[in-house]
Structures are given as structure tokens and as C-alpha cells.
Amino acid sequence: MNIAAATESPPVTFRLRRPPTVPLEAETLTPDVIERLSNAEIRSLIVYHGKRQLPLSEFFDVEGERSDRLELHGDLNKVRWIGRAMSHGSITVHGRVGMHLGAYMRGGEIEVHGDAGDWVGAEMKHGFIRVRGNAGGQVGAAYRGSLAGMKNGLIIIDGTAGLEVGMRMRRGTIVIGGRAKDFVGLQMKGGTIVLLEGAEIRAGAWMNRGTIISLQPIQLMPTFAFAAAYNPMFMHILSRHLQPHGIALPCAASEGSFQLFSGDLAVPGKGELFVWEGQSPAI
């Protein structure tokens, strides 16, 4: 069987039949595990319901087998660790999903038609995640005690996001369609964060390197200094990168310009914070 034929195999479909009463840890819901298993083996996979170990079939009806494409249906807001460390394949969620979606992800794609909890794509290394609704805090961030967050890949949140988006991220791109809460880019070490609707206070606090782009005015910390007003060339490259996902960035000088601020000077850091002044683009 060739690779192209394998990727076109029917997806394995999971339908929530019993909502968990406490958080359900389902690290096995990843293409790396599912693609090798029969239907019976998938249903017998162990998940953790609090301190109890139970078979996956206690909570999900399962259709299909041996595929690197997963589809999940239901209100999964208490189901955690879906797509943990996945390296390929795809996961599509129809409904809300819980914390740690795509954490440590190494490749593949995840799409959520609903809201997501905290720590979406935490410390991911590669891959693509899109949440069509809102997300919680710590998108693409480092876990507590870890020195590095997201290292590569692309995360798009169509709605709002919570605290500490991109905390300690090193590389990769995060796009937030709605307004983000406090501490965007906290201790950021690299990578790019795009804020289509701006953010609340303390954006870029203690950032060392990296780039934050806001298409709406934001409240700047006093430790960021104005550097220049211009339209950088890399913005054209970033815009082309995001255009297939329906996101356009302003690039033409006739539309306005970006105000560049450098900081956080309290560290001292060499981060860049761009704020657009002009007509906002249609997204």
C-alpha cells in the first residue's frame, strides 16, 4: 500500500457516549497510536478518569480502525491531552475540547470546530492547530518550570485567547483572531505572535527576542521604546504564509504603517512589538 492511499483511508470516528464527571486524560487519542490498531484494540485502550483506569469504550463509541485520521464528536471540554505528541495525521474535533490539546505536538494537523481549553499546543515542535472558537490561556506556552515553549509550527485561534499566549516560545507562529488577555508573549524568546484584535495589558513583558504584531492599538508598557515607523519586508512574507488560512496582513504603505517598539528594556531584551496605524484589513 502506498502512502497516498493510506492517508485517504476512512477516518476513525469517536462519538462521546458518556460525559466524564471529572477530567478524562486520553493521551491515546492520537494518530500515532490509533493507526496501528483494530477497532477492538482501540476500544480497549486505557484512559484515566480521575484515579481510575477504564477502557476507552466506557466513554466513546468507535467506528473504523487503522487510520491516521481521527474525528471526534461531542462536548469534550473535560477530555484532556488529545493529540499529545502526535507526529503526523489529522484530528478533527466537532465540539468543545479540554486542556492540553496538541501538547508536545511534532507534526500533523488538528482542527477544532468549537472552543478549546488551556495549553493548546503547549511546547509543540511542529504541526498545525486551528481552533475555530475561543481558547483558554497559555496557547503555545511553556509549562511551569520549563524554559522553552513552542519551538515551531503554526497555531491559529479564530476567537479570543486567555492569559500568557506564547509564554517563553522560541519559534513558530501564533495568530489570535479575537482579543487576547494579559501577558501576551511573556518572557518570549523568539517566534511571532499576531494579534488581529489586540490584547489587554502587559504585552511583551520580559520578552528577550521575538516579534509581536498587533493590528489594533494596545496599551504599551513603559519599558518599550519607540524605534521607527515603517512597513518591514518580512510582513509580506508572513502575509503570504498566512493567506492560505484566510488571514491577510496590511503591507502597502498607502494603507498605513507599523509603529515599531523595542523591548522589554527591563530585561534588557531585543524583542519587537509592531502596532499598525492605518485602516485595518478585512480578515
Of the pLDDT bands very low, low, confident and very high (cuts 50, 70, 90), residue 270 is very high
The rounded radius of gyration (Å) of the Cα atoms in the chain is: 20
Q: Look at residue 281 and tell me whether its pLDDT is greater than 50.
A: no
- pLDDT for 8 equals 67
Residue 268: is the preceding peptide bond cis (ω within 30°)?
Answer: yes
- Residue 91: CB partners within 8 Å, gap ≥ 6? 29, 30, 31, 70, 71, 72, 82, 83, 108, 109, 110, 111
Q: How many CB atoms lie within 10 A of CB 205?
A: 23
- Per-residue pLDDT of 51-72, as tens digits, reads 999 999 999 999 999 999 999 9
Cis amide prior to 61 (ω within 30 degrees): no
What's the pLDDT at 280?
44
Q: In this predicted model, what pLDDT tens digit does every residue of 104-149 receive, in sequence order?
A: 999 999 999 999 999 999 999 999 999 999 999 999 999 999 999 9
Least confident of 5-14, 78-87, 114-123, 236-245: 5-14
